[in-house]
C-alpha cells in the first residue's frame, strides 16, 4: 500500500492539497527556477539556497548554489514504512564545489520522534548519523551523496521498521543540505522549512489548558540578487560560396578581435515569506498539598446583581 502526495511539495499534511493551493506557497517555479527542469511539470518542491564565497581563482566571487527536495510519498511494506524523497543538485555543470556532502532531516522531539532504521540512495544503502548542531532544530543526517552531480536527482528512501505511517503522521519540518569543501557553516550549509517529515501521532493529555499568547515580532532579512548569464546555444550557417585559394577575408572583416559586450536590463521578481516558530520552555511551577481526593473544581464566578438576585 502506498500513499502518494502527487503535486505536493511537503508543505502540508494532507494528500488532498491541490496544485493551486501549493502555488500560493511560492517555493516552486517562482522561488527556485534553477530546479524547474529537474522536477515534473505542475509539481511543487522546496529549495535550499547556499551563498558561498569562491576564492579561487581570485578575485573572490559570491556563488548562489541551489538544491531541491520533494516529498514523494510513503509506502507500507508488511509492518514497515518506507518514506521517499526526491533530492536534486540544481546547479549548472561545471559549478565548482557544489557537490552534496550530506542532507539533514528534522525529527519531532519527545514521544513522537522517529529515527529511521535504514536509508537508501537510488537503491544503495547509505549511512545515517546523528545530526549537526549547526542547525537549530533536532535532526539526523544521511550520508552518501557524493555521486549527485550538477543537474542530477536521486531517490532517497528512509525505512522505519515496525511503524505503520499514514499521511496524518507527517508534520512540516526542516530540511538541510551540507555541501563539500570545508566545515559546516553559513557558506557550506542551508535549510528550508516545510518538508513533510514523519512524527508519530501522540495523543495529547486529557483536557489540556490552552492559552493563546500574542507577540509582536519584527523580522529583517538580507536579500542578495546574483545575476548570471548563460549561452542558450549557438548556430552557424554559411554565407555565399567558399573562397578558394585566397587566404584573406573581405575588407569589411578588419579586426581579429571577436569579443564584444552585451548589456541587458532585467526585472527581478522576489517573493519572500516571513514566518516564526515558537519553542515554549517551562521556567517555573508550583504545587499544592497532595490529597487523596480529586482536584477542587474551579469556583463559579460571583452572581451578577439584578434580575431579582439577592446578594448578602
In a domain, 298, yes or no: no
**Confidence at residue 88, expressed as pLDDT on a 0 to 100 scale:** 93
In a domain, 12, yes or no: yes
Task: Report the candidate in 272, 168, 174, 265 with the shortest Cα–Cα distance to residue 223.
Answer: 272
Who contacts 109 (Cβ-Cβ below 8 Å, separation ≥6)?
138
In a domain, 11, yes or no: yes
List the beta bridge partners of residue 155. Answer: 86
Report the chain (312 residues): mean pLDDT per 10 consecutive residues: 45 32 31 81 87 77 89 92 94 87 88 88 93 92 88 94 89 92 87 90 62 85 83 83 78 80 89 77 77 71 59 48
In a domain, 283, yes or no: no
Peptide bond preceding 242 in cis form (omega within 30 of 0): no
In a domain, 307, yes or no: no
What residues make up the domain containing 179?
2-198
**Confidence at residue 221, expressed as pLDDT on a 0 to 100 scale:** 86
**Confidence at residue 308, expressed as pLDDT on a 0 to 100 scale:** 52
In a domain, 220, yes or no: no
**Confidence at residue 191, expressed as pLDDT on a 0 to 100 scale:** 93
Cell of 72: 514523494
Report the run of H or E that residue 19 belongs to, with start and end: helix 19-23
In a domain, 107, yes or no: yes
**Confidence at residue 22, expressed as pLDDT on a 0 to 100 scale:** 32
**Confidence at residue 118, expressed as pLDDT on a 0 to 100 scale:** 95
Burial readout 127-149 (b: 16 or more C-beta within 10 A, e: otherwise)? ebeebeebbebbbbbbbbbeebe
List the beta bridge partners of residue 80. Answer: 77
In a domain, 117, yes or no: yes
**Confidence at residue 16, expressed as pLDDT on a 0 to 100 scale:** 30
Q: Are 67 and 39 in contact (CB under 8 A)?
A: no
- Count of domains for the chain: 1
Give the dihedral of Cα atoms 168, 82, 8, 142; nearest 10 deg: 110
Half-sphere exposure of 52 (CA within 13 A, CB side): 25
Amino acid at each position: 500500500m502506498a500513499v502518494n502526495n502527487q503535486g505536493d511539495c511537503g508543505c502540508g499534511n494532507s494528500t488532498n492539497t491541490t496544485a493551486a493551493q501549493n502555488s500560493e506557497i511560492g517555493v516552486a517555479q517562482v522561488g527556485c527556477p534553477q530546479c524547474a527542469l529537474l522536477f515534473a511539470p505542475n509539481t511543487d518542491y522546496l529549495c535550499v539556497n547556499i551563498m558561498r564565497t569562491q576564492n579561487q581563482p581570485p578575485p573572490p566571487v559570491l556563488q548562489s548554489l541551489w538544491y531541491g527536495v520533494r516529498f514523494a510519498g510513503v509506502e507500507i511494506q508488511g509492518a514497515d514504512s518506507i518514506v521517499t524523497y526526491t533530492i536534486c543538485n540544481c546547479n549548472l555543470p561545471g559549478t565548482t564545489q557544489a557537490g552534496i556532502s550530506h542532507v539533514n532531516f528534522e525529527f519531532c522531539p519527545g514521544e513522537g520522534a522517529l529515527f529511521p532504521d535504514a536509508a537508501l540512495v537510488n537503491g544503495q544503502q547509505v549511512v545515517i548519523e546523528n545530526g549537526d548542531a549547526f542547525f537549530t532544530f533536532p535532526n539526523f543526517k544521511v550520508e552518501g551523496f557524493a555521486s549527485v552531480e550538477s543537474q542530477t536527482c536521486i531517490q532517497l528512501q528512509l525505512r522505519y521498521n515496525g511503524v505503520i505511517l499514514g499521511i496524518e503522521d507527517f508534520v512540516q519540518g526542516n530540511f538541510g543540505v551540507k555541501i563539500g569543501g570545508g566545515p559546516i557553516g553559513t557558506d557550506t550549509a542551508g535549510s528550508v522549512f516545510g518538508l513533510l517529515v514523519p512524527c508519530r501521532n501522540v495523543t495529547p493529555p486529557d483536557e489540556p489548558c490552552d492559552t493563546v499568547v500574542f507577540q509582536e515580532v519584527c523580522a529583517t532579512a538580507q536579500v542578495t540578487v546574483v545575476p548570471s548569464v548563460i549561452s542558450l546555444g549557438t548556430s552557424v550557417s554559411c554565407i555565399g560560396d567558399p573562397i578558394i585559394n585566397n587566404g584573406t577575408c573581405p575588407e569589411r572583416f578588419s579586426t581579429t578581435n571577436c569579443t564584444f559586450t552585451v548589456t541587458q536590463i532585467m526585472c527581478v521578481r522576489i517573493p519572500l515569506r516571513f514566518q516564526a516558530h515558537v519553542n515554549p520552555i517551562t521556567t517555573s511551577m508550583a504545587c499544592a498539598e497532595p490529597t487523596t481526593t480529586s482536584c477542587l473544581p474551579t469556583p463559579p464566578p460571583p452572581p451578577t446583581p439584578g434580575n431579582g438576585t439577592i446578594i448578602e
